[in-house]
Chain A
Amino acid sequence: MSETKKFMYLNRRPPYGTIYAWESLEVVLIGAAFEQDVSLAFLDDGVYQIMKGQDTGEVDMKNFSPTYSALGDYEVTKLYVEKESLEERGLSIDDLMHLTWEDEDEDWAEKDSIQVVTRAELAKLMDEQDVVFSF
């Protein structure tokens, strides 16, 4: 078994208008099979990816937002959302989906996956990674 590396996926685009958000999610799910230390960061327009209440029924596109709820099952439990990006868009954490994971070590206690971090904190988190993927 090779050494575990810290992988961070940066999500900076809104969903649907381009393929970036969906592609990122696909790569994250594929990468999750390799048992690395994975985290996702949502910043800039990427915060729009996890807005709650998405309904693509009238635009004839796949609503992939429920997939974010499945990340916890793939042991992707660290979703960092940048505070300043939310604020610039008039959003708060209440406008985002409630994403959780179950902690095996604590009798499957449900825990929040989303952590709101400042730009400075996110910069530090990026610094701690071995690999940063940008979408």
Chain B
Amino acid sequence: MSILHTVNKSPFEKSSMASAMAHAADGSAVLFYEDGVYAATKGTSLSDTVSSADGVKLYVLGPDLKARGVAEDRLIDGVQVVDYTGFVDLATEYDKVVAWV
């Protein structure tokens, strides 16, 4: 059973990202949105937690990136940008959604 994990809190303020990554098994995916998008940026003190994920697909919600002025070239390698429709597609594609609110 594959899981889509969603993270919408800043990784610097809450442990949501760290917990989500720690529980994301091989074949699962993590989608960052709202304040969670900061977790998908490279060069931060927490980037390694995300970039070292093996066998886990990484997604970020484009509209939330744009709202915060985070350019796509700041993203950790391998993170794919999706729009709202893409979010819905992911939710249907995976067996379950686990929201790390």
Q: Which residues of A contact B (CB under 8 A)?
A: 13-18, 44-45, 48, 51-59, 61, 63, 65, 88-90
Query: Does residue B28 face the partner (Cβ distance < 8 Å to A)?
Result: no
Tell me the complex Cα distance, A58–B47, Å. 26
Contact of A58 among B41, B44, B66, B74 (CB under 8 A): B66
- List, in ascending order, chain B residues with CB within 8 A of A16's CB: 34-35, 64, 67-68
Over the window 32-62 of chain B, the binary record of Cβ atoms lying under 8 Å from chain A Cβ atoms (1 yes, 0 no) is 0011001001111101000000000000001
CA separation between A45 and B70, bound complex, in Å? 14
Residues from chain A with a CB closer than 8 A to the CB of B67 are 15-16, 54-56, 58-59, 61, 63
- Bitwise interface map of B from 80 to 101 toward A, beta carbon under 8 Å scored 1, else 0: 0001000000000000000000
Residues from chain B with a CB closer than 8 A to the CB of A55 are 66-67, 69
Q: Is the interface of B mostly helix, strand, loop or mixed?
A: loop
Decide if B6 is an interface residue (CB 8 Å cutoff): no
Residue of A nearest to B36 (CB): A17
- A residues less than 8 Å from B8 (CB atoms): 17
B69 touches A45 (CB 8 A): no
Cα of A55 to Cα of B69 in the assembled complex, Å: 6
Bound state CA distance, A17 and B62, in angstroms?
A: 15
Whole-angstrom distance between the Cβ of A47 and the nearest chain B Cβ: 10
A59→B63 contact, CB < 8 A: yes
Chain A residues whose C-beta falls within 8 Å of the C-beta of B70 in the assembled complex: 51
Q: State the Cβ distance, B18 to closest chain A Cβ, in Å.
A: 15
A53 to B66, CA, bound (A): 8
**B69 to A51, Cβ gap below 8 A?**
yes
Q: Which residues of B contact A53 (CB under 8 A)?
A: 69, 71
A90 to B35, Cβ gap below 8 A? no
Whether, in the assembled complex, B5 has its beta carbon less than 8 Å from a beta carbon of chain A, the answer is: no
- Beyond the given pairs A14-B38, A16-B64, A90-B47, 11 more chain A to chain B contacts, judged by CB atoms under 8 angstroms and listed by A's residue number, are A13-B13, A14-B10, A16-B34, A16-B67, A48-B68, A52-B69, A54-B67, A56-B66, A56-B67, A57-B66, A58-B62
